[in-house]
A and B are shown apart, each in its own frame.
Chain A
Amino acid sequence: GDSVTQMEGPVTLSEEAFLTINCTYTATGYPSLFWYVQYPGEGLQLLLKATKADDKGSNKGFEATYRKETTSFHLEKGSVQVSDSAVYFCAPNYNQGGKLIFGQGTELSVKP
């Protein structure tokens, strides 16, 4: 069935380090792809999205490119901050209006 695999955490980085969180999805159809973030004590919120191949989603310095050929949607940020510490979820939406399939989440901890 439809599924998504994320890089396991926790990931611990120093401030200003480069971040990559890998995400791959099963190639059933042409899903829209989302990254959600959950800050400590807060609810899930959308970080960025891409709806078709080669689209790049970006927000708050984070970027991810929809790679159809590798079925990937890796999250990157050039210089992380302590305030980026959170759990990040990759989530394809396969049926264009229905459920999101969430990865298991990757916890990021950024140290000063």
Chain B
Amino acid sequence: EAGVAQSPRYKIIEKRQSVAFWCNPISGHATLYWYQQILGQGPKLLIQFQNNGVVDDSQLPKDRFSAERLKGVDSTLKIQPAKLEDSAVYLCASTPGGEGEQYFGPGTRLTVT
């Protein structure tokens, strides 16, 4: 069974530029999560989708971050414009029905200069 796929694996941009990350969850998994992991910290949830609906986006900085999961399968997370403090690893995870083990992708390491 294929795992959670993410791309790109690495991205370097200048502040005020925009960037997008892509995630393809495990086939059949209804729930998808985006986490931000700043160096030396644990991951923090940004947004949770159940199929193509948003369940929790309370910690998403909506003035610059957006995410979508239009067909209830893959998802895109965008940052526009980026700030230096957005430098982090962005992790995508999925579960079949929202409970139990979350399966994580390899992450996208973003560096904002």
Question: Which residues of A does B touch, CB under 8 Å?
Answer: 32, 34, 36, 42-46, 49, 89, 91, 96-100, 102-105
CA distance A89 to B48 in the complex (A): 20
27 cross-chain CB contacts under 8 A = A32-B99, A34-B101, A36-B104, A43-B4, A43-B104, A43-B105, A44-B91, A44-B104, A45-B104, A46-B102, A49-B101, A89-B42, A89-B43, A91-B42, A97-B31, A97-B98, A98-B56, A98-B98, A99-B56, A100-B43, A102-B42, A102-B43, A103-B42, A104-B41, A104-B42, A105-B41, A105-B42
Contact B48 A98 (CB under 8 A): yes
Smallest CB–CB gap between A66 and chain B, Å?
Answer: 15
Cross-chain contact of A99 among B40, B48, B91, B97 (Cβ < 8 A)? B48
The interface residues of chain B, by DSSP majority, are classed as loop
Residues of B near any A CB (own CB < 8 A) = 4, 31, 33, 40-45, 48, 55-56, 91, 93, 97-102, 104-107
Chain A residue nearest to B50 (CB atoms) is: A97
Say how far B49's CB is from chain A's closest CB, in angstroms. Answer: 11
Determine if B33 and A99 form an interchain contact, defined as CB atoms under 8 angstroms apart: yes
* 3 residue pairs, one from A and one from B, having the closest CB atoms: A102-B42, A97-B98, A99-B45
